Amino acid sequence: MIRIHKEGLTWVTGSLIVYLLIVLLLSYMNSFLLWPAAIILGVLLFLVVNFFRNPERIVAKVSDDLVYCPADGKVVVIEKTFESEYFKDERLQVSVFMNPLNVHVNRYPWSGTVSYSRYHPGKFLVAWHPKSSTENERTTVVIKRKDGQEILMRQIAGALAKRICCYSKEGDQAEQGADMGFIKFGSRVDLYLPLNSEIKVSIDQVVKGNVDVIASVK
């Protein structure tokens, strides 16, 4: 059975009601449009359900040292860069781009305390644009491990994404693999890691949240 994320319950319910009403109306009218409409609307309903699916993913090996992938998608950036919002120093950036067919649930990459959480309104540049990390609508969440080591996770809206959902508040306890948010209709997630992190993924690698390990941080 497909699990639907709570952010999609209204969308899925509304789409199902519209589908049933139109099909029933056309059936009552004995219209020749019944089957074409049923097929087209059925495909659209499937796409809505597919987008808001929330597959159960259990982290195979819970570890303080491992940074798990926070989202499904493709790795589009692995580079050393200057993080200007929180750390204000150089970090290793790993970015995962989510297309509309990917699971759009965002999950905590490791466990710790949420030491920083900010929402920033902004533009809706395509998610792979270099300036999307600093100019697009986005949320920034920093998670502090029990030894004081911190990583930063940034949810970035894309050209189609018009709403970022983030549940993290400062002082919250983040549990590795638990849901921390959702981005609707195409997006990207950036991770900013310590420079001594051992990266476990490569450019263009297709990854899954809670399944693939992004890096090891000692």
Q: Which of 108, 136, 104, 114 is nearest to 123 (CA)?
A: 136
Active-site residue (options: 115, 187, 197, 216): 187
Instruction: Calculate the alpha carbon distances from 154 to 22, 94, 119, 198 in Å.
Output: 40, 11, 10, 20
Instruction: Calculate the alpha carbon distances from 144 to 127, 153, 172 in Å.
Output: 26, 11, 11
Question: Does 95 qualify as catalytic in the annotation?
Answer: no
Helices 9-28/34-51 angle, 10° precision: 170
Q: Which of 194, 183, 201 is nearest to 218 (CA)?
A: 194
- Find out whether 190 and 94 touch, Cβ atoms under 8 Å: yes
Helices vs. strands in the chain: H and E counts, helices first? 3, 14
- Take residue 29 and report the two structure tokens written for it: 């009218």
DSSP state of 67: E
CA gap 139, 157 in Å, rounded? 9
Element (H, E) at 155: strand 150-157
By annotation, the residues acting in catalysis are 187
